[in-house]
Amino acid sequence: MTCDFLPRKLNCTSGAKDPRDVIRLSLPLQPSYGFLWPISAFSLSNITRFAERRTDHAIAVDLLTIDEPSQFNPVSATVLDGKLRYMGKENIRIAGQEWMADKFEFKVPMYPAFMLWTSPQGLLLDFTEEDNQKRLTEHGMKLARYKQFADY
């Protein structure tokens, strides 16, 4: 499947060899959207680009989950309405170095709350879920290695 991430729309095509089998998906979305499943570090960090850096305000985000329910229904997309709130800057140690990261709280219906940290350039550094007592868990993803080749 190939997807084009447009400013307010996602267009996907299945890329089937036989044109009769091609599946097209076109979804109008909030300006800030990304994939929740299949999970993508680039998609998750992209939603933070549009968030105001104000701790008293959350923005609406659309999160997509794409599944393959069956051979006869190979693409099923669900759009979940989420909220993203900027929590401030936090000094964290990830991938063997110190980062002054932007911290966000991310809430999506039917899922636990998530926390994510991005570098000033927008690279996803850490993404984890909270448990019922608002403690961070080990479920998520973390940047494991980072090597800077240019002035980024």
Rounded CA separation 43/38 (Å): 10
- Is 28 in contact with 8 (CB distance < 8 Å)? yes
pLDDT in the model for residue 37: 65
- In the predicted structure, residue 47 carries a pLDDT above the cut 70: yes
* β-pair type (33-37, 58-67): parallel
β-strand partners of 13: 2, 24
The DSSP secondary-structure symbol of 41 reads H
- Expressed in angstroms, the distance from the first to the final Cα of the chain is 30
Count of C-beta atoms within a 10 Å radius of residue 42:
12
Q: What is the mean pLDDT of residues 11-40?
A: 78
Q: Nearest to residue 114, comparing CAs of 122, 124, 123, 10?
A: 124
What beta strand segments (E) does 1-152 contain? Answer: 2-6, 9-13, 24-28, 33-37, 58-67, 76-94, 97-107, 114-118, 124-130, 136-142
Q: What is the mean pLDDT of residues 25-38?
A: 78
The residue among 100 and 3 whose pLDDT is bigger is: 100
- In the predicted structure, residue 152 carries a pLDDT above the cut 60: no
Residue pointed to by tokens 């909220």? 83
62-95: pLDDT as tens digits: 888 877 777 666 677 888 888 999 999 999 999 9
Residues above pLDDT 70, as percent of the chain: 91
Rounded CA separation 22/20 (Å): 6
- Is 12 in contact with 3 (CB distance < 8 Å)? yes
Give the CA radius of gyration of the chain.
17
